[in-house]
Amino acid sequence: MRKALVLGGTRFFGVHLVEALLEEGFEVTIGTRGEMVDPFSTRVNRIILDRLNLVDYKDQLEAEEWDIVFDQICYSSQEALDAIEVFKNNTKKYVFTSSKSVYDEGDAEVGYVEEDFIPTVHTIIQGPKEDFTYHEGKRQAEAVFFQKAPFPVVAVRFPIVIGLNDYTQRLHFHIEKIANQEEIHLVNPDASIDFISEEEAGQFLTWIGLSDFTGPINATSNGKVKLREMMTTIEEKAKTSAIITSTPNESNVSPFNLSETWLISNERARKLGYPFKDLNAYLPLLIGDTLERMKGR
C-alpha cells in the first residue's frame, strides 16, 4: 500500500487532502503537534511532533519511508532546510503548499504565471519564519526546496482558500459585517481577486501529488470577482445593504483589501488536465451556506 505523510492535515483544506488520499487507497499518517482533534477516527495514523525541534522531528520521521510527503505548514528557509534533512533519504516526492503571495501584489487581468517568480535563482537567506514576512517566507521555502532538495518537489501556489470551515474567517468577516449593517473598509472596491475552495484545494494537492509533475504550479478556481461584485452578492443573499467606507479603523478593515487587481493564471494546471471549478458558480452558494450557518449559531 502506498504511504503518504501529511504535515498539517487536521483542519480546513488539509482535511479534504487527507480524505482524497484515503479515497485513492493511501495509508495516511498525519504529523501534527497534537493540539487539534481531527475527524478521521481510526482511518489514519498519527505522529505527534514539533517541526521546529529538528532532533524531535528526525527521531519521529526519518525511520519511515513515504511515497509522498505533503507539507502544509512550512513558512521559512530554516523549516525547508530541516525538512530536507529529515526526508532526504525517505520520500519519493514532496508536495509543498506555497502561496500566491510569492508574487508581488497587483498584476494585469491575465494574472501571474509561474515564471514570474523563479525559486531556483532566488537568494536564500537562512532563518526562521519570524525573520520574514509571510510573502518572503514562502519565497525562501520554495528557494530552498528547489535549490537543495534531493527529492522531486512540487510547490502549489494557492490564492486565498475559502470555505465553510475557514478558521481565518476572512469571507465570514464580510458576510457578518453586511448582515449586521456594519462598515467595511475597502481601498479599491473595483479590484479583482481570485480564490479556490477548500474542497478543491485538497483535491488538487492529491491530484498533483499523484501526477508526474514537478516544479511550481498555480492552482486557482476558474474566474475572478471584483470586491464590489462580491459585496453585491452578499447583499442579495443577506437582503440588506453593505456599508463601504474609505476610512479604516481597528475593526472594519477588509482582510481581502487590495489596492489593485491581483490574480494568478491556472493555465499550466489546466493544460495538465485539472478541471477547475467556476468561482462565480460556487461563490454565491458558499455565501448563502455561510449565512445559514451563522443564523444557526
Other CB atoms within 10 Å distance of the CB of residue 108: 9
Q: Where in the chain is the domain with CATH 3.90.25.10?
A: 166-193+223-261+279-295
b/e map of 68-106 (b: 16 or more CB within 10 Å)? bbbbbebbbbbbbbbbbebbeeebebbbbbbbbbbbeee
> Is the distance from CB of 221 to CB of 197 less than 8 angstroms?
yes
Mean pLDDT of 239-246: 95
* pLDDT, mean over the chain: 94
CA–CA dist 276, 269 (Å, integer): 9
Q: Which of 230, 233, 162 is nearest to 196 (CA)?
A: 162
Neighbours of 166 (CB within 10 A): 19
pLDDT tens-place string over residues 190-233: 999 999 999 999 999 999 999 999 999 999 999 999 999 999 99
52, 31, 155, 225 alpha-carbon torsion, rounded to 10°:
-100
Q: Which stretch of 28-42, 73-87, 118-132 has the lowest confidence by average pLDDT?
A: 28-42
C-alpha span between 221 and 216 (Å, rounded): 17
Band the pLDDT of 70: cuts 50, 70, 90. very high
- Residue 108: the pLDDT is 62
C-alpha cell at 282: 460556487
State how far the Cα of 60 lies from the Cα of 57, in Å rounded to an integer.
5
Question: CA-CA-CA-CA torsion for 21, 219, 115, 128, nearest 10 degrees?
Answer: -70
Instruction: Say what the pLDDT of residue 62 is.
Output: 79
Q: Decide which of 56 and 197 is more confident.
A: 197
Helix (H, G, I), strand (E, B) or coil at 157: strand
Query: Which CATH number is associated with domain 3-160+196-218?
Result: 3.40.50.720
Strands 225-226 and 192-193 come out as antiparallel
d(CA 278, CA 257): 22
Residue 17 has pLDDT above 80, yes or no: yes
pLDDT at res. 49: 87
Tell me how crowded residue 189 is: count the other CB atoms within 10 A of its CB.
18
pLDDT-based confidence at residue 107 (cuts at 50, 70, 90): low
In words, the CATH class of domain 166-193+223-261+279-295 is: alpha beta
Following DSSP, what letter does each residue of 179-201 receive, concatenated?
HTT-EEE-S-TT-EE-EEEHHHH
Q: Which DSSP letter does residue 264 get?
A: B
Q: What is the reported pLDDT for 297?
A: 65
Q: Among all chains, which residue has been given the C-alpha cell 462598515? A: 183
Rounded percentage of the chain residues whose pLDDT exceeds 70: 98
Cα separation, 67 vs 93, in Å, equals 6
- All CATH 3.40.50.720 domain ranges of the chain, comma separated, are 3-160+196-218
Residue with cell string 476610512? 247
Predicted confidence at residue 33, as pLDDT, reads: 82
Write out pLDDT tens, residues 92-101. 999 999 999 9
Task: Calculate mean pLDDT across residues 229-252.
Answer: 96
**How does pLDDT run across 77-94, given as a tens digit for each residue?**
999 999 999 999 999 999
pLDDT of 41 reads 92
pLDDT band at 23 (very low <50, low <70, confident <90, very high): very high
